[in-house]
Amino acid sequence: MNMWIDIKYANLLSVQLENYTVKSNNPYLANFRCPFCGDSQKSKKKTRGYLYTKTTSLFYKCHNCGVGTTLGNVIKYVNPSLYNEYKLERYKEGMDIGNAAKPHAKIEFTNFSPQFEERSPLERLFDSVSTLPKHNIGVKYLESRMIPRDKWSDIYFAYETKKLVELCPDYDEIVQYEEPRIILPFISRSNDLVGVSARAVEKNNLRYLTLRIDKSTPLIYNVNNVDLTKQIYCVEGPLDSLFLNNAVAVGSADLARVSSILPKGNTTLVFDNQPRNPEVVRIMKKAMEDGWKITVWPDTIEQKDINDMVLSGRNPDEIQEVINMNSHSGLSLRLKLNEWSKC
């Protein structure tokens, strides 16, 4: 019942909230310009305030100023008279108004200001998947791919892909669609955000959308977290890297071009298992000539990539052991690669 009351008063308040748009009715999700900070001063079209469902109530989050509060505090800030009606109706239903009666939202906004200065550009725009409710489509996608939960805090979720343009203005003409995607950040060794990969969570012809923020820095996923003194595994897909210890990811076209950052002596290149793909075989042979250690998948592995192996029932520790047992360099690699290649 309290959700019904929250939605009722959200709709009543909506006429006073600029650019108010209901994105979803079940679960309820609405988007509008933040009434606390006024949202973007440059563009009147920017809408970075969200009312979203959490358990059986509506909560508010602004991805510009960082305010996070209850629906009650939003109503109280915008329309105190309507807030009194809201408070009374919840009381009649025997419900606790919770934080709705606590300090004025404007004070809460002031308390958030120091945090805003410390938040990364990604955190100001998007929520970490680890903070989202279980019915969120991004959460459901990561669950369906069996991504380890301890990795979720570094994966973000975008309700609207168009917001990526705020990170990468050069891509304004390319990022045309408002669609949900998970956001995988590329962060450099110096902890600077240099790019993002946005993976579609719904059926889409363009599964991955990669945006470069710093075009001078190679896009290597998770390179900010690896220990360069230990064994490093360099795979193709970011999601694949999440199943291995001390692993990074780059696109297949760039796998052999990371020597400026990753030491050859303790790095193993782990290509997708595509022995009939001429382009993959060509890149592997080039990497072999450049002196890299490379994994040559055995015939017992049928799946294309590590994530598919996990989905088929293989344990990540088992996969890592298969990689260790089937990684070669020099003459041994040349012989194994010739046997493996079927194109």
Q: State the residue for tokens 């450099």.
A: 188
On the question of pLDDT at 114 being above 70, the answer is no
- Domain span at residue 200? 129-212
176-203 in b/e form (b: 16+ CB < 10 A) is: eeebbbbbbbbbbeeeebbbbbbbbbee
Look at residue 261 and tell me if it is in a domain.
Answer: yes
Residues 253 and 152 in one domain: no
Number of domains in the chain: 3
On the question of pLDDT at 117 being above 50, the answer is no
Look at residue 64 and tell me if it is in a domain.
Answer: yes
| Cα–Cα distance measured from residue 54 to residue 57, given in angstroms and rounded to the nearest whole number | 6
Look at residue 222 and tell me if it is in a domain.
Answer: no
On the question of pLDDT at 255 being above 70, the answer is no
On the question of pLDDT at 104 being above 70, the answer is no
**Which tens digit of pLDDT belongs to each residue from 279-330?**
989 999 999 999 999 999 999 999 999 999 999 999 999 999 999 999 999 9
How many other C-beta atoms can be found within 10 angstroms of the C-beta atom of residue 279? 11
> Quick one: average pLDDT of 75-87?
89
Query: What percent of the chain stands above pLDDT 90?
Result: 51
Residues 60 and 141 in one domain: no
Any idea what the CATH number is for the domain that residue 15 is in?
A: 3.90.580
Distance of CA 111 to the CA centre of its chain: 27
| Cα–Cα distance measured from residue 342 to residue 339, given in angstroms and rounded to the nearest whole number | 8
Look at residue 17 and tell me if it is in a domain.
Answer: yes
**Four-CA torsion 303, 305, 309, 310, nearest 10 degrees:** -160
Task: Say how many Å lie between the first and final Cα of the chain, rounded.
Answer: 63
On the question of pLDDT at 275 being above 60, the answer is yes
Length of the chain: 343
Look at residue 99 in the predicted model and tell me its pLDDT. 43
Q: State the residue for tokens 């239903």.
A: 93
Any idea what the CATH number is for the domain that residue 326 is in?
A: 3.40.1360.10
* Side-chain half-sphere exposure of 102, counting CA atoms within 13 A: 11
Look at residue 217 and tell me if it is in a domain.
Answer: no
Residues 174 and 192 in one domain: yes
Look at residue 227 and tell me if it is in a domain.
Answer: no
135 residue type, one letter: H
Residues 112 and 142 in one domain: no
**Of the residues 184, 212, 240, the one at which a domain ends:** 212
On the question of pLDDT at 112 being above 50, the answer is no
pLDDT band at 184 (very low <50, low <70, confident <90, very high): very high
Look at residue 72 and tell me if it is in a domain.
Answer: yes
Q: State the residue for tokens 């001063």.
A: 41
Look at residue 1 in the predicted model and tell me its pLDDT. 58
Look at residue 193 and tell me if it is in a domain.
Answer: yes
